[in-house]
A and B are shown apart, each in its own frame.
Chain A
Amino acid sequence: MGTFYFIAFLSVCFSLLVITARNPVHSILYLILTFFTFTIHYILLNAQFLAVVNFIVYMGAILVLFLYTLMLMNLNKDNEPVKPAIVKIAAVFGGGCLLVTLIASLKTLGTSQPVVLNNPNLGLVKPLGKVLFNEFLLPFEVSSLLLLSAMVGAVLLATKDKQTKTI
């Protein structure tokens, strides 16, 4: 239990640093650390496969692309968009409301019962694959179609300019 609280504390700390860091690249680096703590959470939950996939896909691929884009953009103070005062006040008000709601909802929470795993191999590749390809085959395939259509859309957006130029 101690490990969980320590890691959870780290996750909260790093995610706070993500939004408070001045430099966007530093923000992304803290986000990487946040995702790393999530990987440890998965391992603590005995979900080894999810842990390693989270590691590869989020830390190893998606955040590399984030970092890549941010490094190419010249984000510094000079070209930071300045928001009008009313927007700032509205943002503070909205954030405050959200905070109050969250704190209020915390009151109704109790400590959850610890779940005892019946099958310690539940998080391994084989059980997960069996469930995904038997019970949840349709949602799995539909979500892959969704990803495919997103990919086609991205390619279309990237090649659109070139076609109009040649004509």
Chain B
Amino acid sequence: METTDIIIKIVLVVIIFAISLVIAMYSTYAERKVAAFFQDRVGPNRAGPWGILQPLADGGKMFLKEEIIPSSASGILFIVGPSLAILTACIGSAVIPWGQKLTIGSTVIDLQVTDINVGILYIFGVVSLGVYGIMIGGWASNNKYSLLGAIRAASQNISYEISMGLSIIALLLVTGSLSLREIAEQQHGFWADGWFTWNVFKQPLGFLIFIVCAFAETNRTPFDLPECETELVGGYHTEYSSMKLGFYLFAEYINMFISSAVMATLYFGGYNFPFMDMINSPNLVTILGVVFLFGKIFMFIFFFMWIRWTIPRFRYDQLMNLGWKGLIPLAIANIVITGVVITFLN
């Protein structure tokens, strides 16, 4: 690899990192504004015009709060917990294709950090690692509520990972590739060979299962049992304060952003948009593609928030019933149906 390539990759990593942090930051603002909209309130409007400096004020507050480490907590692990949560949230973005190739002069910039050929499985692995941050933090706090929250998070993640994996298997039957770049390329344009190219139209049931599981994996309402206030005080982050609490909250928003990006790439065509072949300049197509991808991502983030302020949270047994008795059989049926349909079409 040449030096310029390495510099380009490093710049790309820094940009993606910055974008995910900024989006996570403004998701907190957007969440409060969306909540206000749904509840017919004004929402934060004091810091700056329309309150757009609110996330900065929140961040400043988080940094300046007193940092408390309970005397009975187990030292290093108490710090490892939130660090691991934010680390696993951030590294998922490495395999997502953000756009097609950008050509500036003679250099071709690939808008993807790395195109490993097991891209989906990498994302899956990172997601399954994410639960450790919560578990270690919850256990290290040495608090019963924290431990219960951590255990709920672990069992919830494991249960929903299965149906998520099964829904991906049905998708793989359609795409025949594990590389996210290839999957995005296959969904080129919007309409080809008499059917939509986007996978959501080929795998509607799979997408439904996937999005429900994405809600569960990111611990969003209605699956936010790990931090259920009425039963568990604050759940796994009861003992945390200052920026360590901030990391946990931040990790949730980054996870939401990454899972929106994954859903947009896997099912909603990624950076592809209708009538993209009618534009002659490839660079313009690439830039518009990035814009469209982020449009799709923001749509999903809004959907996450919409659900949060519309649907009340499940009871724990309902959550387990839905996961094991609802989604898993549905996902297996989806695999069988997909297999049969593909066999008949060929």
Which of the listed residues A29, A60, A61 has the most CB atoms from chain B within 10 Å of its own CB?
Answer: A60
Q: Using a Cβ–Cβ cut-off of 8 Å, how many residues does chain B contribute to the interface with A?
A: 26
Residue in chain B with minimal CB distance to A121: B117
Are B128 and A56 in contact, with the CB atoms below 8 A? yes
In Å, the complex CA distance between A7 and B139 comes to 29
Are B135 and A64 in contact, with the CB atoms below 8 A? yes
With A59-B128, A61-B158 already in contact, the answer to whether A52 and B117 are too (CB < 8 A) is no
Contact with B along A11-53 (1 / 0, CB 8 A): 0000000000001010001001000000000000000110011
Q: Which residues of B contact A (CB under 8 A)?
A: 74, 77, 116-118, 121-122, 124-125, 127-129, 131-132, 135-136, 139, 147, 150-151, 154-155, 157-158, 161, 178
Q: Chain A, interface size: which category?
A: 20 to 34
In Å, the complex CA distance between A66 and B151 comes to 12
Binding-face segment, A67-75, A76-84, A87-95, A108-116: A67-75
B117 contacts which chain A residues (CB < 8 A)?
Answer: 48, 124-125
In Å, the complex CA distance between A61 and B158 comes to 7
Are A60 and B139 in contact, with the CB atoms below 8 A? no
Residue in chain B with minimal CB distance to A52: B121
In Å, the complex CA distance between A25 and B129 comes to 17
B125 contacts which chain A residues (CB < 8 A)?
Answer: 52, 55-56, 59-60
Are B118 and A48 in contact, with the CB atoms below 8 A? yes
What are 30 inter-chain pairs, A to B, with CB distance below 8 A?
A23-B74, A25-B139, A29-B77, A29-B136, A48-B116, A48-B117, A48-B118, A49-B118, A49-B121, A52-B118, A55-B128, A55-B129, A56-B121, A59-B128, A60-B125, A60-B128, A60-B129, A60-B131, A61-B158, A64-B132, A64-B135, A64-B154, A65-B158, A67-B139, A68-B154, A68-B155, A71-B150, A71-B151, A124-B117, A124-B118
A52 contacts which chain B residues (CB < 8 A)?
Answer: 118, 121-122, 125
In Å, the complex CA distance between A23 and B136 comes to 14
Q: Tell me how far the C-beta of A148 lies from the nearest C-beta in chain B, rounded to whole angstroms.
A: 13
Residue in chain A with minimal CB distance to B155: A68
Q: Tell me how far the C-beta of B263 lies from the nearest C-beta in chain A, rounded to whole angstroms.
A: 19
B158 contacts which chain A residues (CB < 8 A)?
Answer: 61, 64-65
Are B118 and A61 in contact, with the CB atoms below 8 A? no
In Å, the complex CA distance between A76 and B74 comes to 14
In order of increasing CB-CB distance, the 4 nearest A-B pairs are: A60-B128, A55-B125, A52-B121, A56-B125
A49 contacts which chain B residues (CB < 8 A)?
Answer: 118, 121
Which of the listed residues B74, B129, B150, B161 has the most CB atoms from chain A within 10 Å of its own CB?
Answer: B129
Residue in chain A with minimal CB distance to B118: A52
A59 contacts which chain B residues (CB < 8 A)?
Answer: 125, 128-129
